[in-house]
């Protein structure tokens, strides 16, 4: 296990607080937890790709970073207008 | 040698920022406080880690991809934070901006009676 995998393990554990926030509270609070979890997942995928030396895996966090932005905007506009 | 130390410092600074940001999202009280910690997570955390990987890989395709991921997160996250803050404010107060006859009084000004939002006059 190299330093990238250790960092990926520590960062993966940070998904737990965001998951707890996603499961309780008001909808806008849950949205903040979802956005935080998406950012953490991007970091985890980058670290895993570097840790296993399969750099083709970096396409996944690149796509996720773009789609998380669009998804977060859609959720925010939905909360603002229709809920 | 300097690049190795830069990679280590950026990597662990990013990991510490991610840990602090995720715990802050959990323990903060209001949605606006939580958004502050989400900003820490996505600015110093994500950019630190992606910069560490980009420096480690150098001018290769993987390094350029990591730099691109960091730039995307750095520029899209403030927009997302603003949209979330706007939605939260509209949901909590019913409107985004103060009314035309509404004066916002701060806590150190005379006439402030407390509360989150001044009443309509």
Average pLDDT, chain B: 84
Contact A18 B15 (CB under 8 A): no
Q: Does B36 touch chain A (CB under 8 A)?
A: no
Residue B102 has pLDDT above 60, yes or no: no
| Chain A stretch 6-45, residues whose beta carbon is closer than 8 A to a beta carbon of chain B | 7, 10-11, 14-18, 20-21, 26-29, 31-33, 35-36, 39-40, 42-43
* Alpha carbons B117 and B27: distance in angstroms, whole number: 24
Give the model's pLDDT for residue B112: 54
Q: Does B21 touch chain A (CB under 8 A)?
A: yes
Task: Tell me how far apart the terminal alpha carbons of chain B are, to the nearest angstrom.
Answer: 65
Angle at which helix A3-13 crosses helix A15-22, to 10 degrees, equals 20
Other beta carbons within 10 angstroms of residue A58's beta carbon come to 25
Q: Which of B23, B46, B61 sits opposite A42 (nearest CB)?
A: B46
Residue B74 has pLDDT above 90, yes or no: yes
**Chain A residue closest in CA terms to B86:** A80
- What confidence tens digit (pLDDT) does each residue in A8-40 have? 999 999 999 999 999 988 899 999 999 999 999
Best of B15, B22, B70, B85 to substitute, by most chain A Cβ atoms within 10 angstroms, is: B22
Q: Does A48 touch chain B (CB under 8 A)?
A: no
B24 and B43 in contact (C-beta within 8 Å)?
A: no
- What confidence tens digit (pLDDT) does each residue in B32-57 have? 899 999 999 989 999 999 999 999 98
Domain borders along chain B are 2-93
Give the model's pLDDT for residue B120: 52
Token couple for B111: 């006439």
pTM of this prediction? 0.85
Q: Which of B25, B46, B56 sits opposite A32 (nearest CB)?
A: B25
B84 and A76 in contact (C-beta within 8 Å)?
A: yes
Q: Which of B12, B18, B91 sits opposite A40 (nearest CB)?
A: B18
DSSP labels, A7-52: HHHHHHHTHHHHHHHHTSS-HHHHHHHHHHHHHHHHHHHHHHHHHT
């Amino acid at each position: 296990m190299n330093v990238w995998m250790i960092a990926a393990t520590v960062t993966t554990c940070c998904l737990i607080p965001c998951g707890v926030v996603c499961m309780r509270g008001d909808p806008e609070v849950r949205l903040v937890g979802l956005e935080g979890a998406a950012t953490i997942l991007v970091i985890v995928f980058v670290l895993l790709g570097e840790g296993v030396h399969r750099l083709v895996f970096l396409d996944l966090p690149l796509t996720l970073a773009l789609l998380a932005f669009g998804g977060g905007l859609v959720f925010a506009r939905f909360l603002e207008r229709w809920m | 040698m300097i690049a190795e130390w830069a990679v280590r410092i950026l990597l662990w600074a990013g990991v510490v920022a991610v840990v602090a940001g995720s715990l802050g999202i959990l323990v903060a009280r209001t949605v606006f406080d939580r958004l502050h910690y989400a900003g820490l997570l996505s600015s110093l955390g994500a950019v630190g880690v992606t910069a560490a990987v980009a420096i480690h890989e150098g001018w290769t395709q993987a390094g350029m991809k990591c730099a691109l991921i960091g730039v995307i997160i750095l520029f899209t996250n403030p927009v997302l934070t603003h949209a979330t803050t706007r939605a939260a404010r509209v949901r909590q107060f019913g409107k985004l901006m103060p009314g035309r006859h509404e004066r916002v009084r701060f806590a150190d000004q005379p006439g402030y009676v407390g509360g989150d939002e001044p009443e309509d006059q």
